[in-house]
Amino acid sequence: MKVLMVCLGNICRSPLSEGILKHKAQLDGLNWEVNSAGTGNYHIGEPPHLLSQKVALAHGIDISQHKAQQFTAQDMLIYNLIYVMDADNYKAVEQISKKMFNPAKTKLIMNELFPHTNTEVPDPWFGTEKDFIKVYQMLDAATDSIIQKYRSTNTIIKNTHE
């Protein structure tokens, strides 16, 4: 199973969700590859936001080695599931992917916890530590749902362009 988490800059929400899901998958003994990317190119090569790192570390998850990267159309072929943080991320993934876009594998992450609500994970970029904690809590709950949903099944979404 290969999972990609996507936000705008790949320094706040998506590296946090990557770290959380990777940590939980390892604890469960799941052979999952979990990565993250941003739809924008603003922070390529940079580490996660210091508050994302701080909040993750407070929960025993070290994301400090992550380096921001940009989502590419090729990612649509590589990953089984692509989780986006908000509607703008979804639209950007669709635009970047063009003909390779696969809506069956591209999902708003909070829909795993609250199906069909299209709840968005707010970008904490300009916020305080409390905002980063709230984002962590949302992603922690959503990743629990992802683990539960895919742990006991071999459900993998294939790319229709293979």
88 is catalytic: no
For residue 61, the domain's CATH number is: 3.40.50.2300
123 is catalytic: yes
Number of domains in the chain: 1
Residue 158 lies in a domain: no
13 is catalytic: yes
Residue 162 lies in a domain: no
* 7, 12, 75, 86: the active-site residue: 7
* 12, 75, 86, 123: the active-site residue: 123
Residue 15 lies in a domain: yes
**Tokens at residue 119, please?**
């709840």
Q: What is the residue range of 37's domain? A: 2-151
pLDDT tens readout for residues 6-50: 999 999 999 999 999 999 999 999 999 999 999 999 999 999 999
Q: What is the pTM of this model?
A: 0.94
| C-alpha distance across the termini of the chain, in Å | 16
